[in-house]
Structure 1
Amino acid sequence: MTHKSTTAHTLACISLALLATACSKKSEDASVPSTASMPAAASAASAIASPATAASNAVAKPAEANSSKLQDYIACYNKLDGDGHRSIARYRSWVKDMDKGPSGKESIVYGLYKIDVDDVAKCKTSFGQPATAQNKLDAAATAYIDSLSELGVLVTDAEVYYSRENYKDDAFAKGKKLHGPLAEAMKRFEEKSAVFSDQIEVENDKALDAEMQQLEKTEGRQLPYLHMALMSKAKQLLRLIAEDNFDAAAAGKLLTEYESLTDEAIAYAKKNKESTSSGWSSLERATEEYRKAAKERVRRIRDKVPYSEGEKMMLKPGSGWMVEGSQEKVGKAYNDLIEASNRMNR
């Protein structure tokens, strides 16, 4: 699997939360929300058509066992993954050379963010026995939780050391000793996280696609189906345009499809106001903002528009979302869309 940029990978995480909650931040960029969403391959359709229907019952009966397992994986991923990535980002923000580690001459020492090892342990237990290589998702889940468990133990020790400023008493001796195992664990976790994320997306997409097909067959193109369809298309579009570079023509095609579904849903809701959820207006606004941000992103890549010096200065945590055509802006718009969709499902 090819390595994705930090921003693109973060957005991939967000996309898992197709119709659930927003995803945990993998970096300290406030514009990239906690996509990691979570979870469960919950259906917008079930929430709109029957609010009392539990998300776990949204997937077809024959797949209930696998659906429950997938939802458990997604729930843990979204609960834990952001903490791991945030802690890594925090450490790298002041350790300038990850090959060598802290020099002891740093003017600013931020330490690391904590990882809740108790939550990690709970998920490790819920994941069950080590998986076999015959099941890619289970194997990825086991490797993921093992790597996060290892990282959590090391981060806990390092966080105490740095938060208590013990490095001022031992001239960074322990910090330098901790760095090697810590850096290796971070690298291992990032690799396993990417694989697990990809496998979850594959299985989640299968479940959602099956539900959408069944919904269209039984109810037709009513709002429950259109809601699911436009969110699915929004995710497909995000996966492509979140990359540093992408095929602008392919992105344009996906954007057109997203706009068509969105316009159809808006027209349906307008025509059927009496049966439309009160939360639809917020979702409609979010679809427009995402549409706009996606167009800006596609235009920048299609027209090969470089970032100005001023924009480059803003492309950092906390302000990147204000730059037209940036990954951060389209990511924030997508996360807002996810949150609006989730409110429809509550």
Structure 2
Amino acid sequence: MAIFPVILISGCDGAKTSGPPSPATAVEIPVCKQALRLASDKNPMRFSSWQKESTRDNNQSYTNELANIETDQGKTLKYYSLAIVIQIDKTTKQLAEESFIPQEAQLQATALDSLIASAQECYKAAPPADNARLIRYSFMLDSATEYSKVVEERIKRHWDNVPYNPGEQNQIGGLSEWMVKGSAGKVIRSRNKVISDFNQLY
């Protein structure tokens, strides 16, 4: 397996904590510093397309990798990009259910928005030394922001108890479910777009 030297385009460090990182509860906006240093990047963890029947209980290995990144590199864009997809998987698992508790889902959405905001601060602080990589991060953050909007649609529809109209009911469970505003299918499709962009980062 080839290991390529890459540029860490941001050393974006927040306040250090004594315990392991917790992307589901992260709320701080980091103070980003511009740092340009070379390192050998480990083979990144890749995520697959969502499977509704999957319990997706393998997040612990991703959380362990997140802790390793923080220890080795600090809270860089690489750290936040992985934290975002971990949080997105948690959120999708909840919203893919036919019924969920809106208040709990909103907590997941708030945690995600905090991570996206932190990643965007790192992105802004990054020196333009690796434009190709920065562009890929930009795509991923744009997809994550769009996912957040789709999540809010799903939560709002469920919270307001808005039923699907006959046309939407015909789409639910089919290939075009992703076109229905506030549907689980739209959340899953948006999630898969973020994952696709994440997998292209390295």
Same fold flag (TM > 0.5): yes
Matched, 1:237 2:73: no
Match of 1:219 in 2: 73
Runs (4+) off by over 6 Å: none
Residues 39-83 of structure 1: per-residue CA shift (max 9 Å, x gap)? xxxxxxxxxx8676334xx7xxxxxxxxxxxx9xx9xxx79xx8x
Match of 1:258 in 2: 112
Q: How does 1:274-313 map to 2 (within 5 A)?
A: 274-275=128-129, 277=133, 278-313=135-170
Matched, 1:333 2:187: no
Identity of matched residues, %:
25
Residues 310-329 of structure 1: per-residue CA shift (max 9 Å, x gap)? 22233252321111000111
Per the alignment, in what secondary structure is the counterpart of residue 279 of structure 1? helix
Query: 2:160 is matched by which residue type in structure 1?
Result: D
Per chain length, whose mean CA-contact separation is higher, i.e. which structure has more relative contact order (CA < 8 Å, sep 6+)? 2
Q: How does 1:118-197 map to 2 (within 5 A)?
A: 197=54
Deviation of 1:300 (Å): 1.0
* TM-score between both structures, scaled by the size of structure 1: 0.42
Per the alignment, in what secondary structure is the counterpart of residue 274 of structure 1? coil
The alignment covers a number of residue pairs equal to: 161
Point out the structure with max Rg over C-alpha.
Answer: 1
Residues 267-317 of structure 1: per-residue CA shift (max 9 Å, x gap)? 210221425623112112211211111110111111111111222233252
Match of 1:7 in 2: none
Matched, 1:53 2:42: yes
Per the alignment, in what secondary structure is the counterpart of residue 300 of structure 1? helix
- C-alpha RMSD over aligned residues: 2.7
Query: 2:91 is matched by which residue type in structure 1?
Result: L
Which of the numbers 93, 101, 104 marks the counterpart of 1:247?
101
Give unmatched runs, 5+ long, in structure 2.
1-37
Cα distance in 2 for partners of 1:256, 1:268 equals: 19
Residues 192-240 of structure 1: per-residue CA shift (max 9 Å, x gap)? xx5xx44xx43x3222111212222332221111111111111110110
Query: 1:337 is matched by which residue type in structure 2?
Result: V
Which of the numbers 116, 121, 138 marks the counterpart of 1:267?
121
Match of 1:209 in 2: 63
Cα distance in 2 for partners of 1:237, 1:275 equals: 34
Cα pair distance change 1:304/1:334, threshold 3 Å: same
Query: 1:295 is matched by which residue type in structure 2?
Result: E
Query: 1:319 is matched by which residue type in structure 2?
Result: S
Bigger proportion of residues as helix:
1
Cα distance in 1 for partners of 2:192, 2:74 equals: 28
Residues 17-55 of structure 1: per-residue CA shift (max 9 Å, x gap)? xxxxxxxxxxxxxxxxxxxxxxxxxxxxxxxx8676334
Give unmatched runs, 5+ long, in structure 1.
1-48, 59-70, 86-193
* TM-score between both structures, scaled by the size of structure 2: 0.70
Cα distance in 2 for partners of 1:219, 1:51 equals: 11
